[in-house]
Amino acid sequence: MTSAAEIAIPQSAEDIAPSWVQQVLQKDLPGVTITEVHVNGSISEGQGYVSDLIAFDAVGTRNGTSQRYSLIAKLTNFERPGVVFKKWTNDFHIKTETCETNFYSIAVPDLLSVAVPTTERESKAGNEDDEKLPPTDTFVPKCYFTATDPRSMASVRVLENLKTQGFSTKANCQPLSLEETMLTVEALAQLHGLSHRLELRSGVPLPEKYDWIMTDSDIRVFTDILIYAHHDHLKEFAAAFPDHADLIARLEKMAPHVISKEDKRLKVLCHAECWVNNIMFKYAGDVPTEARLVDWQTLVYMPPTYDLTLLFLCNATWDVFHNHRDEILAHYLRKLQETLGPNESSGLQSYTLEQLKADFKADCLYGVINRLCRLEVRPADADLVRMMQEIQEWGVI
């Protein structure tokens, strides 16, 4: 079998040839033969502003049966981030790409290896690959291959094309419905719960086990990027809502910051970019049935509410935030306990709903900062103002 080190990293869509695709699929699909590749073109920048996403179909045979695989090649593009974030450097870009490459190749197999067995996952008769594939309700897309060129530091990730399976992101960055938010917190609960379960089982703190995730210094670099965007976009917010001078004055005094090492709260792996462009849903008619999280370049080790506050502030309507927040947090906690399983007796297993609510309110600053930095794609509206006013009443702003 060809090793990852022997497989070239494509520089563009022209390099995605049948022989290359056959090599990258061999590990998960031994015996596969690829005879044709049909490149469908780039996916919109909104679903990968730091990478090029090339959709393609691979046609061939396996075990004497014709096969067609719909895939995405995610390629490093060192020019694109600077268009969005002026202070984004190549070194930081390499760090983010390395983070996602290692997440798919190292962390995901580790996380799924400690998942609690469930009788609800039944093998499909005649499918010899069932034991090799992640559970159908996993929170991430299937990744067939990922690697980095040590010379250029360009990376590639070959992922299943979720769009061909009926998944999509919300059109025009529209806010999430209650049902979509419920599915998203289930995905986050799975990530958080499995990472905590893995840490307990291995006995090794995850930042030591995964020295490639974002460190405090890396997060400070990203924080500097956010500060730049924060000040710029706050002017737009003030122009749109001049009648809220007190709120705007408070927001101007805020500075993005990170959770310090002195914060003794329990931490887990967090997605850290869980906003509408990085969440894909599958629907039965108009009803959302599944959610997947994509874009894992900024994985961090933080309290669970780091993800939850960003999710609410960057994706929710006022109705969902104000009237359904407790319901959603309770649902998250139930799914978290299910993921942890009945045999864990420490850490997150003893996390109460009241603790979760208190931590959520205290950490809402992160959600506010991230929301302000996305005004370019999700303009401020009356719902955002009402959410910020409620958070102000909590004493966070």
166-393: CATH, from 3.90.1200, 3.30.9, 1.10.1760, 3.40.50: 3.90.1200
Lowest-pLDDT range, 38-47, 276-285, 382-391?
38-47
pTM above 0.75, yes or no: yes
Whether the predicted pLDDT of 133 surpasses 70 = no
pLDDT given at position 226? 65
Closest CA to 106 of 268, 274, 296: 296
More confident residue, 376 or 211: 211
Give me the residue spans of the domains in the chain: 4-164, 166-393
| Model confidence at 3: pLDDT above 80 | no
For residue 226, give the nearest of 396, 44, 63, 87 by alpha carbon: 87
pLDDT band at 319 (very low <50, low <70, confident <90, very high): very high
Hunting for tokens 């999280």 — which residue is that? 293
- At 295 the pLDDT is 93
**Distance (Å, rounded) from C-alpha 70 to C-alpha 60?**
12
CA distance 84 to 74: 18
Q: Judge whether residue 17 has pLDDT over 80.
A: yes
Pick among 3.90.870.40, 3.40.50.300, 3.30.200.20, 3.40.630.10: CATH of 4-164: 3.30.200.20
Query: Are 4-164 and 166-393 equal in CATH topology?
Result: no
- Pairing mode, if any, of strands 65-76 and 155-160? antiparallel
120 confidence band (pLDDT: 50, 70, 90): very low
